[in-house]
């Protein structure tokens, strides 16, 4: 996600049972419209209430978010960005290339 310049403050109405509605653009930006999305709330000194998006993660997908896997993802992104990749017309051509490697 890109860093956003500090936006001007917005005001949300607090409803009868303490509910607020986040603006649609913010919900979309932080994927808070996804099933199971939550908001973490932290009370800070000076009357500051901090809200942070908290998205649930399926146990079956936790491996993808490990530090080592994310480092490997970044490494691949760098190779792709530099054009240091090979593209093949079909799987047979790719396997042929791999078979020829030492």
**Amino acid 36: pLDDT:** 79
70 band by pLDDT with thresholds 50, 70 and 90: very high
pLDDT of residue 60: 84
> Alpha-carbon dihedral of residues 49, 53, 58, 60, nearest 10 degrees?
-110
Task: Assess whether pLDDT exceeds 70 at residue 3.
Answer: no
User: Residue 102 above 80 pLDDT?
Assistant: yes
Q: What local confidence, expressed as pLDDT, does residue 54 receive? A: 86
Structural domains in the chain, CATH included, are 1-56 (2.10.260), 59-100 (no CATH)
Cα–Cα nearest to 36, from 20, 19, 56, 15: 56
Spatial distance between the Cα atoms of 58 and 35, rounded to a whole number of angstroms: 12
* pLDDT tens-digit readout, 15-67: 999 999 999 999 998 888 887 788 999 999 999 999 999 877 777 888 888 89
Report whether 71 contacts 95 (CB < 8 A).
Answer: no
**Model pLDDT, residue 65:** 81
pLDDT band at 1 (very low <50, low <70, confident <90, very high): very low
Res. 4 pLDDT band, cuts 50 70 90: low
């Amino acid at each position: 996600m890109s860093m956003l310049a500090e936006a001007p403050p917005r005001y949300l109405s607090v409803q009868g049972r303490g509910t607020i509605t986040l603006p649609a653009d913010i919900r979309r930006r932080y994927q808070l419209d996804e099933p199971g999305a939550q908001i973490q709330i932290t009370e800070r000194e000076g009357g500051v209430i901090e809200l942070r998006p908290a998205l649930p993660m399926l146990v079956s997908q936790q491996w993808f978010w490990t530090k080592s896997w994310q480092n490997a993802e970044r490494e691949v992104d760098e190779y792709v960005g530099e054009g240091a990749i090979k593209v093949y017309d079909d799987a047979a051509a790719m396997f042929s290339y791999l078979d020829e490697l030492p």
